[in-house]
Amino acid sequence: MHRWSKLFIPTLREAPADAEVASHKFLLRAGYIRQLGAGIYNYLFLGQRSLNKIIAIVRDEMDKIGQEFLLPGILPKDPWVESGRWTGMGDNMFRLQDRKGAELCLGMTHEEIMTGIARNELRSYKQLPQIWYQIQTKYRDEPRPKSGLLRVRQFTMKDSYSFDLNAAGLDTSYKLHDQAYRNIFTRSGLKFVVVDADSGAMGGSQSQEFMVYTDAGEDLIVSCPVCRYAANLEKATSKLEPVTEMEPTGDGMPELVHTPGCASIADVAAFFKISPASDIKCVAYMALKHGGPDSKSGSKPDTWHGVATFLRGDHQVNETKLLGAIGAAELRTMQADELEKYLHGPAGYLGPVGLQHDAKPLGDGLTVIVDKSLEGRKNLVCGANKLDYHLRNVTPGRDFTWTLSADIRSVNEGEACPVDDCDGKLVVGKAVEVGHIFKLGDRYTASMGARVLDENGKEVTPIMGCYGIGIERILTAAIEQSNDANGFWLPSTIAPFQVVVTVTNIGDAALKETGEKLAVALEDAGIDVVLDDRDERAGVKFKDADLVGIPYRINVGKKAASGLVELVSRAKAQSTDVALDAVVHEVKARIQEEQLLLKAD
């Protein structure tokens, strides 16, 4: 029996000043966590208890489709060199040396290690498929930890890895995870959406994220209120309204126009009396390409390449899409001297006409990427690569060419849903990512040389999927979606306790005994209960109960003498009088009803 008077539940009346988002404030105030450093937290009793419940759900569902492993958190350098990620992970990887000077890192993910096991142990197609998972601490040196447990440098992750003989097998493993994840998040009481996600620059054919809408989230989700379309902004597309073509002037060929001081899209649009959609915007980058693995030095040196992107003036470059289109690892914008070198012009007056460009992305010269939305347009305006001059009557394809044409822009709210026959208008919302499933392909099995014999005795490379769930983010998202001024309430499946029995006046021996007996009865009924037996005023105990996320409270107070107690649903802030001998049954019914509702969604 858990007695509050003996527990360490350090609740705070006020939140520390540096907590911004609701979940951060309440996790601190409710005594779930305490901060140790930037993005590093101590989990106290209530926090750990809730996380353990989440982990139990995850384990229960994962055991239905896979096998639990536990890999080390501290990892040697070699596997990372083999996969090319020793350099590829950059500064996000915590690195250290042992006493001999050998290099090690703290695990931020385990594709290399799992693939290493597969390579060493799997020999035959008969051993496939395999799904291996673990629930383990991950370390990532985030550039900017923030928002309490939402973006941290140490966290708990369920990560799993599937190995299959072929694409059909991978599809099965992927679907198994999809269903397991839906079960996990449903049982955890989250209102989530599944969205199409970017599958990354390197390999990967399909990817979905499990998202919970909240303003505290860092991801932007595009969705259609009419059909079921939903995608991460990094991946989302839309149907564009056709732009009315501009009439050519003069002979219809590019014409140099003096545009003094018109360095922004708005200036140019005003000068030519056109919409920004008819101006060509240029955003120029230096793109980092990883050298890849090298048997001698560990990895070949990284290289920087000039990339110029052109798109409609009213559109935004989507760097994730751009990275994928050109196969680069990182981007930074060009400096003035680089603009001069690659585009021979100053910022504000850059354009595509007359540029020499590479035939393939990331060559020795300049890579020119044009957004799809410019194809087929005519008589546009663009910079002339000359201070205070622009060109008009510019027609893509006729007046300039490119290395690659691709979708490199972010959709805007209000654009038309990309689904055929759907006329919905897209909306954009903030969300937090709680899970991600990903068809990896042979990215790791190939580079690390994992092979099995197929039924014809031929060597083949197994293909992989990888799948992650952020354990703490389930807790965080649950708090974000259910809180008010007084605190938060968790689904009874993941709450540290399902019920708190509050004895309003512990000095009253009869009340105390009633509370004790009730708590025992609840426990016997399989309900996770804590007895608030503190010698505090009733108000203090009520406030704490409202704060700490326990979904049900039973007040044992004045009416107990006449055989009644109060049953309070925290979510509904609703109190009902129930006969003492019926309350166990009633609580149980409510908890069961809650689970049924979750499953029904």
Partner RNA sequence: CGGGGCGUAGCGCAGCCUGGUAGCGCAUCUGCUUUGGGAGCAGAGGGCCGGGGGUUCGAAUCCCUCCGCCCCGACCA
Q: Using alpha carbons only, what angle is made at residue 526 by residues 469 and 534, rounded to the nearest 5 degrees?
A: 95
Tell me the closest approach of the beta carbon of residue 592 to RNA, in angstroms: 24
Strands 33-37 and 40-43: antiparallel
Q: What is the DSSP string of 253-289?
A: S-EEEE-TT--SHHHHHHHHT--GGGBEEEEEEEEEE
Tell me the closest approach of the beta carbon of residue 205 to RNA, in angstroms: 25
Strands 130-139 and 193-196: unpaired
Tell me the closest approach of the beta carbon of residue 544 to RNA, in angstroms: 5
State which residue, 67 or 576, has the beta carbon closest to RNA.
Answer: 576
Question: In whole angstroms, what is the distance from residue 352 CA to residue 397 CA?
Answer: 11
Question: In whole angstroms, what is the distance from residue 39 CA to residue 149 CA?
Answer: 7
State which residue, 193 or 263, has the beta carbon closest to RNA.
Answer: 263
Distance of CA 298 to the CA centre of its chain: 31
Tell me the closest approach of the beta carbon of residue 455 to RNA, in angstroms: 48
State which residue, 193 or 538, has the beta carbon closest to RNA.
Answer: 538
Tell me the closest approach of the beta carbon of residue 201 to RNA, in angstroms: 16
Question: In whole angstroms, what is the distance from residue 588 CA to residue 529 CA?
Answer: 12
Residue 316: C-alpha distances to residues 59, 246, 392 (Å): 42, 22, 22
Q: Are 79 and 109 a contacting pair, CB within 8 Å?
A: no
Tell me the closest approach of the beta carbon of residue 302 to RNA, in angstroms: 17
State which residue, 184 or 343, has the beta carbon closest to RNA.
Answer: 343
State which residue, 166 or 316, has the beta carbon closest to RNA.
Answer: 316
State which residue, 35 or 483, has the beta carbon closest to RNA.
Answer: 35
Q: Are 174 and 502 a contacting pair, CB within 8 Å?
A: no
Dihedral, CA of residue 390, residue 396, residue 398 and residue 402, to nearest 10: 100
Q: Is 556 helix (H, G, I), strand (E, B) or coil?
A: strand
Q: Are 435 and 158 a contacting pair, CB within 8 Å?
A: no
State which residue, 61 or 546, has the beta carbon closest to RNA.
Answer: 546
Tell me the closest approach of the beta carbon of residue 24 to RNA, in angstroms: 7
State which residue, 144 or 572, has the beta carbon closest to RNA.
Answer: 144
Binding site for RNA (CB under 7 A): 11-18, 20, 29, 35, 37-40, 143-147, 263-265, 281-285, 315-319, 331-334, 339, 347-348, 350, 410, 486, 504-505, 507, 537-540, 542-547, 555-560, 566, 568, 575
Tell me the closest approach of the beta carbon of residue 530 to RNA, in angstroms: 15
